[in-house]
């Protein structure tokens, strides 16, 4: 018989740090209380029928909230409804901890986007209020994307403080011809396709972005690094391309690199002790939409540590299983979306199936090359 105050998830394929094992978890008072070996299903236990039982997924960089806030260009949606829908979508794909990416650093007027305005502080207030009212199913932190090619970065960062659950500050440099869009032709295709600019409008955009970098970039970078320390947040780099850029990231105290664009940069990150994060869509699609290094190539070289769903939340679990196939080790693949991101941001209470850790867990099974989710528990309570 089971204790009515506990939950027993039994006859599962447990994804443990050291490998997989047929067994059961006992969840009690919000934590993992016991790990049992074997396929026995006690009375009152939930029979997993061999399905995977893994830690809840941890997402460090997603723009998904912005998509819910603005479901179509120039169409804004009520923020409370957008926050709840975003939270429910992430829960539905097994993400139990998320660092919601909010842009800081605006351009008061842009020929490409006249509405490239400040929004992060107000949206963060609504997110924190929703959390305080127990409106979310999963755990939310804030990730501030610090746009160095902007006019207002430092004044926007000054509106945040140590009490705002800012877990990550990432250094963003979208100067045309550098980093993500080192190939200007790729940037041209992206910007003209997305925003409908003319060739003249695109040229003006490139010139204005380069001017912003020249005027504000160095000071903004220094200020963002200082802000991360003030918040107690982890610092991340973004789109490192060269070994020199990685060395600069290391000097700033960067803990993980988001989407390095070249093999050279990923290799330099590992040499410097910086974890490498790549996008799950890159892995699933077989390459980068920007023409940068393929995630699969870095995985095969042992240079990939963390996956992010980036712009497709449902990609995270499937991509982790794909990595398990590439490496012949499902536990190692799942660690890129559980233990590794937890370690990168200093969350010591989750990300692994271990006694005493938070009972954030998921039930999943394989459907050909993708993953089907059958259950989500947060702090031992079923939420999906």
Identify the DSSP state of 109: -
142 found inside a domain? yes
379 found inside a domain? no
Using an 8 Å Cβ cutoff, are 12 and 50 in contact?
yes
Model confidence pLDDT, tens digit, residues 254-313: 999 999 999 999 999 999 999 999 999 999 999 887 778 999 999 999 999 999 999 999
255 found inside a domain? yes
pLDDT category of residue 204 using cuts at 50, 70 and 90: low
Query: Measured on CA atoms in the order 306, 351, 311, 142, is the torsion positive or negative?
Result: negative
Q: What 3-state DSSP class applies to 117?
A: coil
Q: What is the pLDDT of residue 369?
A: 77
Residues with Cβ within 8 Å of 224's Cβ and at least 6 positions away in sequence, in order, are: 146, 148, 153, 157, 169, 171
pLDDT category of residue 187 using cuts at 50, 70 and 90: low
CATH number of domain containing 316: 3.20.20.140
Q: What is the pLDDT of residue 217?
A: 75
Q: What is the pLDDT of residue 109?
A: 57
Mean pLDDT (the chain, rounded): 91
- Please check the confidence at residue 9 and state whether its pLDDT lies above 80: yes
Question: For residues 75 and 25, which has the higher predicted lDDT (pLDDT)?
Answer: 25
64 found inside a domain? yes
| % pLDDT > 70, the chain | 88
48 found inside a domain? no
Domain span at residue 299? Answer: 57-350
**Beta strands 57-62 and 31-37, pairing class:** unpaired
Q: What is the pLDDT of residue 113?
A: 47
Which residues are 141's β-sheet partners? 99
**How many residues in total does the chain contain?**
384
Q: Which two tokens stand for residue 15?
A: 């994804």
Q: Which two tokens stand for residue 159?
A: 């509106």
Rg, Å, the chain Cα set: 21
151 found inside a domain? yes
Nearest CA to 377 among 55, 52, 22, 20?
A: 55
Tell me the mean pLDDT in the region 344-368: 96
168, HSE (Cβ side, Cα atoms, 13 Å): 33
Tell me the mean pLDDT in the region 322-343: 97
Q: What is the pLDDT of residue 362?
A: 98
Q: What is the pLDDT of residue 1?
A: 46
Model confidence pLDDT, tens digit, residues 84-116: 999 999 999 999 999 999 999 988 655 544 457
Tell me the mean pLDDT in the region 331-354: 98
69 found inside a domain? yes
Model confidence pLDDT, tens digit, residues 36-86: 999 999 999 999 999 999 999 999 999 999 999 989 878 889 999 999 999
Q: Which residue, chain included where needed, has tokens 């963390």? A: 306
> Would you say the pTM of this structure is higher than 0.85?
yes
Burial class (CB in 10 A: 0-12, 13-18, 19+), 98: buried
As a whole number of angstroms, the distance between CA 331 and CA 143 comes to 27
As a whole number of angstroms, the distance between CA 85 and CA 74 comes to 19
Model confidence pLDDT, tens digit, residues 124-176: 999 999 999 999 999 999 999 999 988 899 999 999 999 999 999 999 986 66
Model confidence pLDDT, tens digit, residues 311-332: 999 999 999 999 999 999 999 9
Q: Which two tokens stand for residue 179?
A: 């980093």
pLDDT category of residue 216 using cuts at 50, 70 and 90: confident
Using an 8 Å Cβ cutoff, are 212 and 107 in contact?
yes
Q: Which residue, chain included where needed, has tokens 């090619």? A: 149
As a whole number of angstroms, the distance between CA 18 and CA 144 comes to 33
Instruction: Put residue 189 in one of left, alpha, beta given phi > 0 → left and psi -120 to 50 → alpha.
Output: alpha
Q: What is the pLDDT of residue 114?
A: 45
As a whole number of angstroms, the distance between CA 303 and CA 59 comes to 19
Question: For residues 133 and 212, which has the higher predicted lDDT (pLDDT)?
Answer: 133
Model confidence pLDDT, tens digit, residues 232-245: 999 999 999 999 99
Number of domains within the chain? 1
4 found inside a domain? no
């Amino acid at each position: 018989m089971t204790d009515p105050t506990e939950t027993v998830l039994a006859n599962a394929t447990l994804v443990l740090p050291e490998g997989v094992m047929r067994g059961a978890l006992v969840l009690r008072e919000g934590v993992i209380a016991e790990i049992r070996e074997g396929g026995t299903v006690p009375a009152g236990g939930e029979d997993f029928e061999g399905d995977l039982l893994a830690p809840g997924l941890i997402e460090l960089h997603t723009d998904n909230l912005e998509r819910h806030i603005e479901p179509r260009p120039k169409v804004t949606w009520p923020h409370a409804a957008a926050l709840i829908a975003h939270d429910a979508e992430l829960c539905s794909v097994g993400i139990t901890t998320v660092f919601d990416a909010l842009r800081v650093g605006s351009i008061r007027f842009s020929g490409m986007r006249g509405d490239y305005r400040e929004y992060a502080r107000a949206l963060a207030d609504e997110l924190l209020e929703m959390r305080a009212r127990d409106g979310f199913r999963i755990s939310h932190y804030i990730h501030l994307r610090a746009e160095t090619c902007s006019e207002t970065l430092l004044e926007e960062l000054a509106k945040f403080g140590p009490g705002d659950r800012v877990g990550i500050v990432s250094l963003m440099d979208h100067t045309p011809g550098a980093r993500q869009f080192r190939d200007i032709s790729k940037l041209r295709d992206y910007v003209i396709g997305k925003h409908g600019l003319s060739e003249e409008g695109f040229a003006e955009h490139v010139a204005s972005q380069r001017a912003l970098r020249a005027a504000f970039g160095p000071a903004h970078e220094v200020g963002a690094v200082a802000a991360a320390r003030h918040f107690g947040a982890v610092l991340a780099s973004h789109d490192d391309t060269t070994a020199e850029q990685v060395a600069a990231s290391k000097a700033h105290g960067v803990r993980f690199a988001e989407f390095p664009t070249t093999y050279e940069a990923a290799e330099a990150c590992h040499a410097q002790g910086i974890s490498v994060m790549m996008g799950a869509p890159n892995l699933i699609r077989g390459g980068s939409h920007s023409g940068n290094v393929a995630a699969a190539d870095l995985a095969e070289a042992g240079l990939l540590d963390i996956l992010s769903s980036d712009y497709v939340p449902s990609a995270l679990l499937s991509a982790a299983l794909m990595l398990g196939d590439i490496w012949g080790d499902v536990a190692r693949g799942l660690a890129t979306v559980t233990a590794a991101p937890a370690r990168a941001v200093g969350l010591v209470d989750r990300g692994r199936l271990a006694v005493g850790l938070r009972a954030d867990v998921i039930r999943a099974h394989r459907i050909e090359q993708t993953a089907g989710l059958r259950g989500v528990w947060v702090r031992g309570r079923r939420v999906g």
